[in-house]
């Protein structure tokens, strides 16, 4: 009798890192019924992913200020919105996705800026619990 191997257990961090953040932004910014998912799982997934790439919370918060001042599309066009190329490419892809739907919802720009600030806060909390520099 052969047994099927059981896959190794995965942590919440591993599962959340696989979340389609761009899709959560696309729907969460335009449809109120998805806003909770965007500010729940979406914030956590983005924070886990960016934290793994070594992004500091203040960098994400700064992009949130840029979104608030200039809009999602403006922030998406920045050549390097975050210090590392890999993190910049990832955030740019998220912002581009958000920018495509931002015109469909009157409060999308403000919500995107709040979302980025929430991501920054969560990265800071993760780092402080590990004792890392914030």
pLDDT in tens, 60-111: 999 999 999 999 999 999 999 999 999 999 999 999 999 998 887 779 999 9
pLDDT surpassing 70 at residue 52: yes
What percentage of the chain carries pLDDT values higher than 70? 92
3-state secondary structure of 31: coil
Which pLDDT score, from 0 to 100, does residue 99 have? Answer: 93
What number of other Cβ atoms are within 10 A of residue 76's Cβ? Answer: 22
Which pLDDT score, from 0 to 100, does residue 2 have? Answer: 57
Q: What is the mean pLDDT of residues 37-54?
A: 95
Q: Which two tokens stand for residue 4?
A: 């099927």
pLDDT surpassing 80 at residue 134: no
For residues 99-119, one letter each, b for 16 or more C-beta atoms within 10 angstroms of the residue's C-beta and e for the rest, the string is: bbbbeebeebbebbbbbbbbb
pLDDT surpassing 80 at residue 3: no
pTM of the model: 0.86
Which pLDDT score, from 0 to 100, does residue 1 have? Answer: 53
């Amino acid at each position: 009798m052969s047994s099927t191997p059981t896959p190794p257990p995965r942590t919440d961090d591993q599962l959340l890192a696989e979340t389609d953040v761009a899709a959560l932004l696309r729907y969460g910014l335009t449809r109120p019924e998805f806003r909770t998912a965007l500010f729940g799982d979406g914030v956590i997934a983005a924070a886990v992913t960016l934290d793994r790439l070594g992004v500091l919370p203040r960098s994400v918060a700064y992009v949130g200020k840029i979104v608030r001042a200039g809009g999602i599309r403006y922030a998406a066009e920045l050549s390097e919105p975050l210090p590392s190329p890999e993190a910049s490419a990832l955030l740019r892809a998220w912002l581009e996705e958000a920018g495509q739907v931002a015109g469909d919802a009157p409060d999308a720009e403000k919500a995107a800026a709040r979302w980025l600030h929430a991501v920054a806060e969560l990265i800071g909390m993760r780092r402080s619990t590990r004792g890392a520099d914030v």
